[in-house]
Chains A and B, each alone.
Chain A
Amino acid sequence: ETGVTQSPTHLIKTRGQQVTLRCSSQSGHNTVSWYQQALGQGPQFIFQYYREEENGRGNFPPRFSGLQFPNYSSELNVNALELDDSALYLCASSLGQGAGGELFFGEGSRLTVL
């Protein structure tokens, strides 16, 4: 167990809807990164939050947005869902900015868009 918890574990939405995914980081970690993992693929970086600010962003459109709270937990919001958004969404926490430190991944939220 990594100490990173994500909710919900599974959810089904329809095209055009909005979704919020939640992540609690490991105790003492101040950085949260979100990744999207399509079936049979490696995770793809969405963005990273450090001390409540977006620290870096991958190649994802603005309808993917996030928040980090003072307790370092985080949310990923996706608006106007598309079929291709169906994937496993992984949250990873770490201590400090960058990817140089070991990332601790949660078990993910599996989103299905119909």
Chain B
Amino acid sequence: GESVGLHLPTLSVQEGDNSIINCAYSNSASDYFIWYKQESGKGPQFIIDIRSNMDKRQGQRVTVLLNKTVKHLSLQIAATQPGDSAVYFCAETPNSGYALNFGKGTSLLVTP
């Protein structure tokens, strides 16, 4: 079965609001986590990553939080914009392996 899952398949937010996309994983050996954004008809685009020795990492308008105790990962997008509308995937790899395990994705829809 999948080791990575998402709590919500779809998320609708208003432009300017903050978005939070959640992800659960089951493999305790996972030590590297990445968030990808995939727009329609395109390949996944790297957003931000975090290693298991950290619990928070910030980028431009995005923050990833990692809670290893409950095996939970979240992506926060500040001041969500229409261009943020896409499917967001979390992915993990155990023991810095060679394969990323992706979840099914959350569709983010930003409404005006």
Contacts and interface: CB of A to CB of B under 8 A. Distances in A.
A44 B32 CA distance: 17
B45 A105 contact: yes
A40 B98 contact: no
A106 B102 contact: no
Contacts, number: 66
Interface stretch (B14-22, B56-64, B89-97): B89-97
Interface in B38-69: 41-46, 49
A4 B99 CA distance: 18
Contacts of B104: 40-42
A90 B102 contact: no
A53 interface: no
Contact of A99 (B4, B41, B96, B105): B96
Interface residues of B toward A: which range?
A: 20 to 34
Contacts of B101: 45
A4 B49 CA distance: 20
Given A40-B104, A99-B93, A100-B93, A48 B98 contact: yes
B98 A42 contact: no
Given A42-B89, A99-B93, A100-B93, A105 B43 contact: yes
9 contacts: A4-B43, A42-B4, A42-B91, A48-B99, A56-B97, A58-B99, A98-B93, A104-B46, A107-B42
Give 3 closest A-B pairs by Cβ, nearest first. A42-B102, A105-B43, A45-B99
